[in-house]
Structure 1
């Protein structure tokens, strides 16, 4: 099917007349959908529609805005199986992973639908008599959202829902690799009674649509999730005219394994974090930093774990699905070659899967390297694939130093039974998300999410109450009566 943009409450084609196909990463012979190759003019039209709807939506009582979000949540839940299958066919996740992500979107809209009831300000004690002093929380205005392909419904949900709850109007550009589940969200928003122009959906390239959102003076804020290289460009462009900017970007996330840890549990924590979602997560564990006392045993066990995983089309619900695209697969294979050239030891995996069900898809073996040092590129650069490096640490202090010895700081975890080690790691880890005896992936929707260093612009956090902060500004009100 050919799918259209959603602008001003209508489904319309691009002015360009051009389209692009999205293919199933498990079977590239299957075209999942055809989408609009939109231009800057299309984006500008969507921005105009959002600006025109801005005052009316901001003036809508917050509980009424919340009602629309709750109805959207219910509509998504009613279509959960359909949307899950769309996500699998488009992005490549396993059915279980996709179902979990769709469920997250359902919950996010429900959560912010309820949070809309609590929006407001705070009352403070004035210095003088016969006076009041309070604050008002008001929407930014019109915001641009640029979202990635690896969580193509969860991340749009946790940007769209707080933006709409707080009274902003929106233009969203989903990733071209997986735009359909976001489109399905817009079908649900439309069915829930969202007024025309309040939220707009435009597909197309970052150089056309994304650039327009970052550059247009009518946009009051830009929220981006994606690679550090692209996010840095977006932030610099958007902030040039004082737009508010929020970017969440890459990671090189460590899990430290100490001698006191239950080794089987440590292997499971690292393995799920490294190979879940085919390693295509900004919070994926790409470095296991293991105390020398248990290093050899851990290397053998994690290699065995990787070899035990089933790889196949996501609809069959294997342990691991394909890469989203040929370019992502090629990048992973290139990093395997780089690691070998730098002297790392390939313990298992590292090859493209071929034959039978693999020939028409982007499949790779779960990969484990040992004998990796911090100076190596494989220990410093984000791979975004199912590649785990195992690094040796002489003691706790050495492990923390290695964990922090990267430009990223998104998620970090430690596996230990030592309470002192756990708390010292929480204090010392240079990461926005720190976990004890848990995998680096997976976050709760009602607490802040974001990174340190090159993982974030370090301006605003997403999700929970913090997710509302980016989309609002504060007005202080003095009244002398």
Structure 2
């Protein structure tokens, strides 16, 4: 039976009232599992006003105290780990084992943010004048708007919320309308953790309505968004009028380079994980494999065998792949595959849409493996965001690097080789913000997750990500 969710504004659950409702669907069986308010600009204004009123007192609190409250939130999440993971699986479709990993990642993001509570530091710089010092301090921006994608709804919210709050900002979250339930659950737990009213607010609705209102409002000071490049462009334009501070983590088209001296078994294992985890719905996924001709046949034989062995089914069971998040997203992937084949790509493993038997309902895709001879094939150029792998054979390392860099995206790239010279050269030659060298994807909380080009602005994680939630102020202190 569907349940009705409410927005969380100023520490209160706000009923839908006259606002229309949106249905939240379970992508594995198309059942409606909840309804949420289809919010509007007035809902956005109320949430931002609440956050603005709470911000001064929150920023005045010692950072260690703010950190203690965020730590309590992490404890609340840990205590509800199984429940939250099931909620993510029901609304997003990923296998329960992967959803548990997502909740664990969210806990880690929150706890790492807490570690930074005593690391908000500035500088004292020597002045050119007598009896003077130059003090450079860090201050919170004020009200942060967090816009999160549907592929990791809980982890992305925690990734942004933790550092924003510890830094002294207040926060308004809009989760994607397809996957809003785990963000609302996070708000419920923040209340239990004792985070003051107005510090964390959650609104629901469509990005083109509520999201745009949040971004355009003069009440918001910083916008941090994870999502598509298309949406990122719109947000960037919407924030331009007020010269809004915008941080965007957008799409990717990660190249996966395997050279002739690579450990093939290790490369295949990493390629499978980096392509199919979360049904290929990860911005850092292995999107295009550049294989040295001398090892391409061996690599593809093993990769296809591993792809065929993946178990697809009910994500609450013991499976490797769940459904795509929606029928629209499923059909987007199928369309790119069709365009790629018509443009000359060969089918090495025909997966595609599953619609019979246990897959009669839901948005199912089986792994597909393509091989292209040209670097301008749609499967090589366009972000697929699904369980479709594309291989291109290359003559040498230089050709692989040139093909890899021939893209407008710049989020992540992979390289498998035993040649130390190539490994040392890779950071200088591969034009991407994040490199995985002889390993699969999965960034560390103390690292820095950032994209170049159409993959975004700013970044998350580590001390550089935390610093992104603070702005600098320079004071010239003269006592002469």
TM normalised by structure 2 equals 0.97
Q: Which residue of 1 aligns with 2:200?
A: 199
Aligned partners of 1:105, 1:3: CA distance in 2, in Å?
Answer: 22
Q: Which residue of 2 aligns with 1:211?
A: 212
Say which is worse superposed, 471-480 or 381-390, in terms of deviation: 471-480
Aligned partners of 1:372, 1:352: CA distance in 2, in Å?
Answer: 25
**1:128 positional shift:** 4.8
1:21 aligns with 2:19: no
Which of 4, 7, 17 matches 1:5? 7
Counterpart contact for 2:248–2:459, Cα < 8 Å: no
Q: Which residue of 2 aligns with 1:62?
A: 63
Q: Which residue of 2 aligns with 1:360?
A: 361
Aligned pairs for 1:330-409 within 5 A: 330-409=331-410
**1:130 positional shift:** 4.3
CA 317–240 in structure 1, closer or farther in 2 if over 3 Å, else same: farther
Aligned partners of 2:318, 2:127: CA distance in 1, in Å?
Answer: 61
Counterpart contact for 1:15–1:42, Cα < 8 Å: no
Superimposed CA distance per residue, residues 320-369 of structure 1 (whole angstroms, 9 cap, x where no aligned partner): 11100111111111111111101101111332123332111111111100
1:78 aligns with 2:76: no
**1:28 positional shift:** 1.2
Q: Which residue of 1 aligns with 2:224?
A: 223
Counterpart contact for 2:322–2:364, Cα < 8 Å: yes
Aligned partners of 1:82, 1:108: CA distance in 2, in Å?
Answer: 19
Aligned partners of 1:239, 1:466: CA distance in 2, in Å?
Answer: 24
Aligned partners of 2:423, 2:380: CA distance in 1, in Å?
Answer: 23
CA 380–16 in structure 1, closer or farther in 2 if over 3 Å, else same: farther
CA 447–23 in structure 1, closer or farther in 2 if over 3 Å, else same: same
Q: Which residue of 2 aligns with 1:98?
A: 99
Aligned partners of 2:344, 2:127: CA distance in 1, in Å?
Answer: 67
Q: Which residue of 1 aligns with 2:443?
A: 443
Aligned pairs for 1:28-427 within 5 A: 28-29=30-31, 31-128=32-129, 130-427=131-428
Q: Which residue of 2 aligns with 1:462?
A: 460
Counterpart contact for 2:323–2:365, Cα < 8 Å: yes
Superimposed CA distance per residue, residues 120-157 of structure 1 (whole angstroms, 9 cap, x where no aligned partner): 31233344554443221111111211110101011111
Secondary structure at the aligned position of 2:30 is classed as strand
Secondary structure at the aligned position of 2:435 is classed as strand
Secondary structure at the aligned position of 1:50 is classed as helix
Aligned partners of 1:235, 1:456: CA distance in 2, in Å?
Answer: 10
Number of aligned positions between the proteins: 477
Aligned partners of 1:14, 1:424: CA distance in 2, in Å?
Answer: 56
Superimposed CA distance per residue, residues 283-304 of structure 1 (whole angstroms, 9 cap, x where no aligned partner): 1101110001111222222111
Aligned partners of 2:287, 2:318: CA distance in 1, in Å?
Answer: 23
Q: Which runs of 5+ in 2 are unaligned?
A: none
Superimposed CA distance per residue, residues 64-97 of structure 1 (whole angstroms, 9 cap, x where no aligned partner): 1101110000100000011011111110111121
Aligned partners of 1:372, 1:106: CA distance in 2, in Å?
Answer: 44
Aligned partners of 1:425, 1:170: CA distance in 2, in Å?
Answer: 38
Aligned partners of 1:317, 1:22: CA distance in 2, in Å?
Answer: 24
Secondary structure at the aligned position of 1:448 is classed as coil
Counterpart contact for 1:286–1:389, Cα < 8 Å: yes
Secondary structure at the aligned position of 1:241 is classed as coil
Aligned partners of 1:167, 1:317: CA distance in 2, in Å?
Answer: 42
Aligned partners of 1:318, 1:427: CA distance in 2, in Å?
Answer: 39
